[in-house]
Amino acid sequence: MFAVTAFAVLIALGIALARAFLGPTVFDRILAVNSVGTKTVLLIAVLGFLTGRPDFLDIAIVYALINFIGVVAILKYVQYGDFALSGNVEPVPPGNVERAPQGDGEGGQ
């Protein structure tokens, strides 16, 4: 049962990886990284139950936190082009990132 779940998670991981390799825009790749991180959390949880030692669940939770912080940092870079600016500054996206067709830079406050 857990083995089937583990292979399903691995297949989903492969699909997310393919999107990260191919993804034409920045946002495809950010979403792929986030998805791979989520699949890693799931895989660690399933591996814990598969080997009969579900003590690693809290480590999976910490992975989820790291994944969230990393994605927030990446999104902040994509929107502001800098890490030092706060949300009050007018966004200046970095020059030559290949962005989505309708670059929605004014999403934040």
Partner 1 sequence: MIITLIDIILLTFMGATAFAILRLRSLFAVVMLSGIYSLLAASMFVSLDAVDVAFTEAAVGAGISTVLMMAVLALTGERERLPARTPILPLVVVTLTGAALFYATFEMPAFGDANAPVNLHVAPHYLKNSFAEVGLPNVVTSILASYRGYDTLGEVTVIFTAGVAVMLLLGGRKGDDAGIKREPADDAGNADSGDDDDRDTRGGAA
CB of 51 to partner 1, least distance (A): 7
Contacts with partner 1, residue ranges (CB under 8 A): 3, 6-7, 10, 13-14, 17, 20-21, 23, 26, 29-30, 32-33, 36-37, 40, 43-44, 47, 50-51, 56, 59, 62-63, 66-67, 69-70, 73-74, 77, 81-84, 94-98
CB of 88 to partner 1, least distance (A): 15
State how far Cα 5 lies from the chain centre: 21
